[in-house]
Chains A and B, each alone.
Chain A
C-alpha cells in the first residue's frame, strides 16, 4: 500500500513566559493508505500538538510550526494557502477529539452540524444531505436517526456524542482520520463499543487512522504500527507486535512493565518508572529520558540518540543502549 501521510522532521514550538516549549521536536512518521497507526505517550509529550500541526490548527500566535514538512498524498500541507487547507480539513482529513462536547456546536442541531459539511464540501442539496446524515447516524449505531438529527448535543450521552463525532468525521469519506484520545473520557464498556465501531468502519471504508492514546491496551488491539513519543520526540517505532513483544527503548519497556495486567498473575509489586517527565521548556542535553533511565551511560548525557533500525528496518529505537534493553526484557519482581 502507498504512503498516504508522511511527516518529516516536524517541529512545533510554543512561546511562553517560561521560555520556548518544544512540544514537537523534530519528529518523522508516516501512515500508509488504510493503515491504523498509533501515537502513544504520556500527557504533555506532544501527541495532540502533532495532530493539530497536521491540520494546521496550532493556536497562534504562541504556537508555531517552525520546521518540517507534512506530505499528504505527496503535497506539503504546510505550504498550502488557507483556502486550500480548508478543503483538506474535514474533506480529506478529519479529526476526532477526546471531549466531543468541545468540538460540537451546542446551539446547532446534530443534523445541521452534519449536513453543513456535506453541503459545503460535497455540494449536496439540503435534502440529499439530510438523507445522508440519517444514514451516517445509523451507520454508527444511533437508533431512530431521523428524530435524533433534530436534537442538540447536550441531549446525548458521552458515548452517543462520540458516535456522532465519528459520523461527522466520516461524512465526507476522508482518507485519513486523526483520532485524539477518542475514548479516554468514556467508560470501559462504552470504550469497547466505540473502538469496535471505529475498527470495523475503518476496515470497511478503507480509511487510514492515526490513533492517539496513552492506553497501551487500546493500542495493542487496534493499531498496525506504533510510534512511542517522549518529550516531543519519537523514541521507538515498530509494528504493534514488535513493540509489545520486543520493546527496545527503556521508556517503552518501563511503560509496559509499570501497568498491572489482567492477563498475567498478579505481581507482588509494580515496577514504576522513577522520576517524572521533563519540562519541555527545559530539556536536558543528550537523551531526554536520561534522568529516569536505569540503562543510562555517560554518553547519554551529552549526545542525543537518533532513531536507528534494530533488527529489521521497520523497528527503530532512539537509544544508545538498545542492545542491553533487549537482554533486560524479561520481567522482574516476584509474582503471587
Chain B
C-alpha cells in the first residue's frame, strides 16, 4: 500500500470521568484510549483488534467526532477535525460514516427501509426531488444486495443480515470516503457473516472506500485488512501489515491472542500449542504500572513493571510496544 494518507490519528487520548454525582460510587478516570496513533491510506483497510473494553469503539467514536477527545489530533484529508468549527465539521462529517455491530438498534423502527436510506439524501441535500431520491434508494438497495420491494419494509421485518445491509446502504448514501465498521459482522450468524464481508469488499473495490475495520475476530480481521493494529488497555501494542502481523507477531499479547483462536480442525487443534494467559484484562480505571500487559505477560522481566514501552518501529513497517521486541 502506498497511496496518500486519508486519516491520521496522532496521540489520541480519551478519558472518561466516572463515579461521584447522582449515583455515587468511587470517582475515577477510565483511560479508554491512552495515546493512540496510526494512519490509514486512501482505499486501504486498517483492522483494529483487541478484547472488549480495550478502547476500539471509543477510538472509532473519536474519529467520527461522536466523542470529544481529551487530547490528540485527528487529521482527515489533512485537516484536524478537533479544531474545525461546527459548519466546517458538518461538511466533513458526511464523508466519515459508520456501520455498527447491532444493526437493529441503529435503525429507526418507525421508518421504512426506503425512508431510512432517503433521509440523509434529503437532509444533506445530496439528491434533490422525491423522484430522484427514490431512484437513488433503489440503486443503493441493489448495490447492497437487497430488492426494490425491501424499501417498503420496516426494520423488524428483516433478518439481521438484511438489516446490516440497510445500515451499509444508509452509510453509502452519504458518499463517504471513510467508513468506520465497528464489529459489523459480530452479531450475525456464521453463514451470513461471509455474505456481508464479501459485500464490504466488493463495495470497496467499486467505490474506492477506505475502512477502519474494528473487530475481535482475528480470522475475519486477517481476511479483510491490509494492515492490522492490536489494542490492549487503551494502547496500540502492535501494528503491521496483515501478513507480517499474523505470520511473525512480535508482541507477546498478539501471540497469545492468535494462539487462543480455536481452529476448526480437530487434528490440528490436538497438536497445536496454546498459550493460555493467566488472569484477566485489568480495569482501565487502574491500569498496571510500566507495561500495561506485564501482569499477564508470559515473558515479563523486572523492568516491565516500571518502564512504559513505546510503540516503536522494530522492523520497517512493523511496530511493537514491548521492551523485549
Nearest CB of chain B from residue A22's CB, rounded to whole Å: 18
Which A residues lie within 8 Å of B189 (CB)? Answer: 42-43, 214, 277
Nearest CB of chain A from residue B219's CB, rounded to whole Å: 4
Name A263's contact: one of B162, B216, B265 (CB within 8 Å).
B265
Which A residues lie within 8 Å of B191 (CB)? Answer: 42, 254-255, 258, 272-273, 276-277
Task: Assess whether A220 is interfacial by the CB under 8 Å rule.
Answer: yes
Interface string of B215-245 (1 = CB under 8 A from A): 0101110110000000000000000001000
Contact B219 A259 (CB under 8 A): yes
Which A residues lie within 8 Å of B261 (CB)? Answer: 188, 217, 262
Contact A217 B262 (CB under 8 A): yes
8 Å CB interface, A210-231 against B? 214-221
A160-B280, A272-B198 known; A256 vs B257 contact (CB < 8 Å): no
Contact B257 A189 (CB under 8 A): yes
Interface string of A253-273 (1 = CB under 8 A from B): 011101111110011011111
Task: Assess whether B281 is interfacial by the CB under 8 Å rule.
Answer: yes
Nearest CB of chain A from residue B195's CB, rounded to whole Å: 4
Contact B198 A261 (CB under 8 A): no
Contact B195 A188 (CB under 8 A): no
Task: Assess whether A240 is interfacial by the CB under 8 Å rule.
Answer: yes
Contact A217 B263 (CB under 8 A): yes
Q: CA–CA, A274 to B243, complex, Å? A: 29
Which A residues lie within 8 Å of B277 (CB)? Answer: 189, 192-193
Contact B51 A240 (CB under 8 A): no
Nearest CB of chain A from residue B101's CB, rounded to whole Å: 14
Contact B190 A259 (CB under 8 A): yes
Q: CA–CA, A160 to B283, complex, Å? A: 14
Nearest CB of chain A from residue B246's CB, rounded to whole Å: 7
Task: Assess whether B135 is interfacial by the CB under 8 Å rule.
Answer: no
Contact B198 A220 (CB under 8 A): no
Nearest CB of chain A from residue B136's CB, rounded to whole Å: 26
Name B190's contact: one of A157, A255, A271, A274 (CB within 8 Å).
A255
Which B residues lie within 8 Å of A303 (CB)? Answer: none
> Closest residue to B258 on the A side, CB-wise?
A262
Contact A188 B263 (CB under 8 A): no
Contact B264 A241 (CB under 8 A): no
Total number of B residues with any Cβ neighbor in A under 8 Å: 43
Contact A244 B190 (CB under 8 A): no
Nearest CB of chain A from residue B73's CB, rounded to whole Å: 30
Task: Assess whether B66 is interfacial by the CB under 8 Å rule.
Answer: no
Which A residues lie within 8 Å of B263 (CB)? Answer: 217, 220-221, 261-263
8 Å CB interface, B1-60 against A? 51-52
Contact B267 A192 (CB under 8 A): no
Task: Assess whether B314 is interfacial by the CB under 8 Å rule.
Answer: no
Q: CA–CA, A199 to B46, complex, Å? A: 36
Q: CA–CA, A191 to B157, complex, Å? A: 34
Which B residues lie within 8 Å of A196 (CB)? Answer: 274, 276
Which B residues lie within 8 Å of A277 (CB)? Answer: 189, 191
Which B residues lie within 8 Å of A215 (CB)? Answer: 262
Contact A276 B266 (CB under 8 A): no
Task: Assess whether A187 is interfacial by the CB under 8 Å rule.
Answer: yes
Task: Assess whether B146 is interfacial by the CB under 8 Å rule.
Answer: no
Name A188's contact: one of B190, B197, B218 (CB within 8 Å).
B218
Q: CA–CA, A255 to B194, complex, Å? A: 10
8 Å CB interface, B247-294 against A? 256-270, 274, 276-277, 280-281
Which B residues lie within 8 Å of A190 (CB)? Answer: 51, 280-281
Name B264's contact: one of A160, A187, A261 (CB within 8 Å).
A261
Interface string of B186-218 (1 = CB under 8 A from A): 000111111101100100000000000000101
Q: CA–CA, A72 to B265, complex, Å? A: 31
Task: Assess whether B176 is interfacial by the CB under 8 Å rule.
Answer: no
Name B260's contact: one of A189, A255, A256, A271 (CB within 8 Å).
A189
Nearest CB of chain B from residue A293's CB, rounded to whole Å: 12
Which A residues lie within 8 Å of B219 (CB)? Answer: 259-262
Which A residues lie within 8 Å of B159 (CB)? Answer: 276
Which B residues lie within 8 Å of A260 (CB)? Answer: 197, 219-220, 222-223
A187-B281, A276-B159 known; A270 vs B223 contact (CB < 8 Å): yes
Task: Assess whether B148 is interfacial by the CB under 8 Å rule.
Answer: no
Contact A240 B266 (CB under 8 A): yes
> Closest residue to B194 on the A side, CB-wise?
A272
> Closest residue to A193 on the B side, CB-wise?
B276
Which B residues lie within 8 Å of A160 (CB)? Answer: 280
Q: CA–CA, A294 to B216, complex, Å? A: 31
Some 14 contacts from A to B, beta carbons below 8 A apart, are: A189-B281, A191-B260, A192-B260, A192-B262, A193-B276, A216-B264, A220-B263, A220-B265, A220-B266, A255-B190, A259-B264, A269-B198, A270-B198, A272-B198
Q: Taking beta carbons and an 8 Å cutoff, which residues of A are in contact with B?
A: 42-43, 157, 159-160, 187-193, 195-196, 214-221, 240-241, 244-245, 254-256, 258-263, 266-267, 269-274, 276-277
Minimum-distance CB pairs A-B, first 10:
A217-B262, A272-B194, A187-B51, A42-B189, A270-B194, A260-B223, A216-B264, A192-B260, A258-B194, A221-B269
Q: Taking beta carbons and an 8 Å cutoff, which residues of B are in contact with A?
A: 51-52, 159, 161-162, 189-195, 197-198, 201, 216, 218-220, 222-223, 242, 246, 256-270, 274, 276-277, 280-281
Q: A190-B51, A244-B266 are in contact. List 12 more A-B contacts (CB 8 A).
A: A42-B191, A189-B276, A189-B277, A214-B190, A217-B262, A217-B269, A244-B265, A255-B191, A260-B223, A262-B222, A263-B265, A272-B194
